[in-house]
Chain A
Amino acid sequence: MVVAEVEGGFLRVGSAGTFSTEIIPGQRVLIHGKRPIPGIAVKPPDHCLPPDRDEGYVPLGAFLVDTGLSPRQLQSQVRIGDPITFDRMPIHLGNGVVAGPALDNRAGLAALTLALQSLDRSGHAWDIVAAGLVQEEIGSLGARTSAHADPPTLALVIDTTYGRSHAEAEHRTFPLGGGPSNGWGPAVHPAIHEQLRLAAEHLEIPLTLEPMPWYSESDADVLQLAGGGVPTGCLFIPVRYMHSPVEMVDVEDIRRTGTLVAEFVRGLGEAASRFLEQG
């Protein structure tokens, strides 16, 4: 987000959500001002940066966005508070693997869309509310308000999880192409976890248990607290290099997630109210 204009047509920026500043230098960006303005996010040369940098750490506030516009042009087109996004098209890497920005959580939206497309109206007993929620990255605010007025009987959060790359511990990451993960922990109702497991087994879709010992780090953390409490499940798609402009996903995992969500919904009948009762 644009937080200040500095001399010579440069912008200072702040962050909405978290990402590693190491990915910034040289990123093409779009400033969503009166019209989209292209620019480059840059790390100024060392002699322009604040001193005493801890282990080479450079705070986001020291980075700049260069638009190539004159200060006057910039003033007329960009305002403080304009959002900035990474300007990169998705890249098809072959074999169904795609890299690009915002796959967290457009991958989830794609899976939800697939699920809705594959559901026959007569095939499910329960009403489905498909919710595209806002401001998850800054505190699940959309989930908070959308579940308030009419809390659902049950909620399923479709989001992304850490896809494994060479640099991470195996127990905290999930391989691309290995199927979605099924959240397990205090944010998840155990019966929903079990129903998802059974549905995946029935469809022969690989599904990995994701231990979430404290928070789910998803909208589930607030959805389960809506109204008088909502039984909530978590289905997460592995995304590698999360919160970077080259997030990576296996499209097959998105497809499997959509299929699994549809199957789960079809299974919600008379009996469902009972499986939600905990012994």
Chain B
Amino acid sequence: MAPARLSRTPQRTHMALLRALTEAVGVSGDEGEVRRLVREHVEPLADEVRVDALGNLLAIRRGSARRKLRVMLSAHMDEIGLMVTGAEPDGALLLGQVGGVAPQHLAGKAFWVGKGRVPGVIGLSPPHLAGTVRAHRLTLDQLRLDVGARSRDEALKRVRIGDRAAFATALTRLGECVSAKALDNRLGVAILIELLGAAPPNIDLLAAFTVQEEIGRRGAGVAAHSLDPELAIAIDCTPARDLPTWDGAENTAYNSRLGQGPALYTADRATVSDRRLLEHFETTARAARLPFQYRQPGGGGTDAGSIHRVRKGIPAISVSVPVRYPHSSAGMIRIDDWRNTVLLLHATLARLSHETLTRTRRRT
């Protein structure tokens, strides 16, 4: 098959894919809807597609060169969300959290509940009544999911205990940006699908669309074990906390910035990136005149955190697209960051060789 053409501006098919992926619901542990969508897109592109015991979708596309590297690219399919844990006599539904979803992002939002996407909302008492009662720092215990039912029985006819709930958000364009739910990490999934369609001949591309990243990176480890790659790259989204400060002081804790290109990881709380891979990305970006930034070292973790300690150790690194307001009802990415991430990843893959990993030159 002919390699797909990568473009700096997103084509209509790219945007349609991102819309379908972000509007699909795949709360951690229940990724089926996303997996079906991914499968539909990767089956024509891959030589081999399978789903493992945890629900990871593994798609392999073999290169045509003689001395190929086995390269794992991973992108997690799951998103943070809620689970219905109980129902009160008045029909209000109690909630448990799935992954890092902050209660402050829940009030006043609409949700899709369960497989049937039953509509529901999480409301808040009017300020006239709540002023002295409610602490401003909301907790999940104070909130209920409301499907408009008048009783427990009516509520449980529409949803079941154990159903997942995700933000009900449609993708929309905002200026130079795209806003949607679950950009973390459906954008990574979209990028990986695109790369699978344009895989360079020098590698066997081992694509892992993983599950349960948001609740402890559970899927990526077993995927890496099965695929047994020589190196791995996790494609994810990282928070851009690049907002103006209250008093105009310099924002030095931005983590990453919108519009500055793909964010390369030197280290996060789960992984110290392989220095050879980091250097390979840096030199590729400079050669291809593509922008990049460093994700500020510190907390957090990606699939790489699980992958790099599998078997006898796998050289790994993460590349993320900066996203503002992740884990909320409406995240936001810049389109040029997305496209530059695709281009940088592709250029980097195309320049990979066995020598990339045998060199021991220090990072310059």
Interface residues of A (CB under 8 A from B): 6-10, 18-28, 38-40, 42-45, 47-50, 53-58, 62, 64, 66-70, 73, 88, 91-95, 97, 99, 162, 164-169, 172-173, 176-177, 217, 240-248
A113 shortest CB reach to chain B, Å: 23
Known: A92-B119, A93-B120, A93-B148. A165 touches B125 (CB 8 A): yes
* Chain B interface helix/strand/loop/mixed: loop
Question: Do A167 and B142 touch (CB < 8 A)?
Answer: yes
Q: Is there a chain A Cβ closer than 8 Å to B356's Cβ?
A: no
Give the contact stretch, choosing among B18-26, B43-51, B106-114, B300-308: B106-114
Known: A88-B110, A248-B146. A242 touches B175 (CB 8 A): no
A51 shortest CB reach to chain B, Å: 8
CB-CB contacts below 8 Å: B82-138 with A = 88, 90, 92, 104-105, 107-110, 119-130, 133-138
Question: Do A68 and B332 touch (CB < 8 A)?
Answer: yes
In the complex, A241 Cα to B120 Cα: how many Å? 13
Question: Do B244 and A244 touch (CB < 8 A)?
Answer: no
Question: Do A50 and B108 touch (CB < 8 A)?
Answer: no
Give the contact stretch, choosing among B30-38, B281-289, B323-331: B323-331
Q: Is there a chain A Cβ closer than 8 Å to B144's Cβ?
A: yes
In the complex, A56 Cα to B324 Cα: how many Å? 21
Q: Which residues on the B side are within 8 Å of A26 (C-beta)?
A: 105, 109, 167, 325, 328-330
Among B104, B105, B176, B239, the one with the most A-chain Cβ atoms within 10 Å of its Cβ is B104
Q: Is there a chain A Cβ closer than 8 Å to B2's Cβ?
A: no
In the complex, A57 Cα to B88 Cα: how many Å? 29
Question: Do A245 and B108 touch (CB < 8 A)?
Answer: yes
Interface residues of B (CB under 8 A from A): 88, 90, 92, 104-105, 107-110, 119-130, 133-138, 142, 144, 146-150, 154, 158, 167-169, 172-177, 179, 239, 241-247, 251, 253, 324-325, 328-330, 332, 334
Q: Which of A69, A173, A217 contacts B176 (CB 8 A)?
A: A69
Q: Which of B104, B108, B120, B146 contacts A27 (CB 8 A)?
A: B108
In the complex, A22 Cα to B110 Cα: how many Å? 15
Question: Do B245 and A166 touch (CB < 8 A)?
Answer: no
Question: Do B104 and A25 touch (CB < 8 A)?
Answer: yes
Question: Do B90 and A166 touch (CB < 8 A)?
Answer: yes
Task: Identify 18 new A-B residue pairs, CB closer than 8 A, beyond the known A94-B158, A246-B122.
Answer: A25-B105, A26-B329, A28-B169, A48-B241, A48-B244, A55-B135, A58-B136, A62-B246, A66-B324, A68-B177, A69-B174, A99-B121, A167-B144, A217-B128, A244-B123, A245-B108, A246-B108, A246-B110
Known: A26-B109, A26-B328, A56-B137. A50 touches B129 (CB 8 A): no
Known: A43-B104, A244-B108, A245-B108. A99 touches B148 (CB 8 A): yes
Q: Which residues on the B side are within 8 Å of A246 (C-beta)?
A: 108-110, 121-123
In the complex, A243 Cα to B128 Cα: how many Å? 9
In the complex, A243 Cα to B146 Cα: how many Å? 16
Question: Do B174 and A67 touch (CB < 8 A)?
Answer: yes
Output the nearest chain B residue to A243 by Cβ-Cβ distance: B126
29 contacts between A and B (CB under 8 A): A20-B124, A20-B126, A22-B104, A23-B124, A38-B174, A38-B179, A43-B104, A47-B251, A48-B241, A48-B245, A48-B251, A50-B247, A56-B135, A57-B136, A58-B136, A67-B174, A68-B173, A69-B175, A99-B148, A165-B92, A166-B88, A166-B144, A167-B144, A241-B108, A241-B125, A241-B126, A244-B124, A246-B122, A248-B146
Output the nearest chain A residue to B179 by Cβ-Cβ distance: A40
Question: Do A244 and B107 touch (CB < 8 A)?
Answer: yes
Q: Which residues on the B side are within 8 Å of A92 (C-beta)?
A: 119
Question: Do B129 and A168 touch (CB < 8 A)?
Answer: yes
Question: Do B129 and A44 touch (CB < 8 A)?
Answer: no
Question: Do B138 and A91 touch (CB < 8 A)?
Answer: no
Q: Which residues on the B side are within 8 Å of A99 (C-beta)?
A: 110, 119, 121, 123, 146, 148
In the complex, A164 Cα to B169 Cα: how many Å? 26
Q: Which of A10, A19, A24 contacts B127 (CB 8 A)?
A: A19
Among B105, B107, B167, the one with the most A-chain Cβ atoms within 10 Å of its Cβ is B107
Question: Do B130 and A20 touch (CB < 8 A)?
Answer: yes
In the complex, A95 Cα to B148 Cα: how many Å? 8
A48 shortest CB reach to chain B, Å: 5
Q: Which of B92, B104, B108, B246 contacts A48 (CB 8 A)?
A: B246
Q: Which residues on the A side are within 8 Å of B109 (C-beta)?
A: 26-27, 246
Q: Which residues on the B side are within 8 Å of A7 (C-beta)?
A: 244
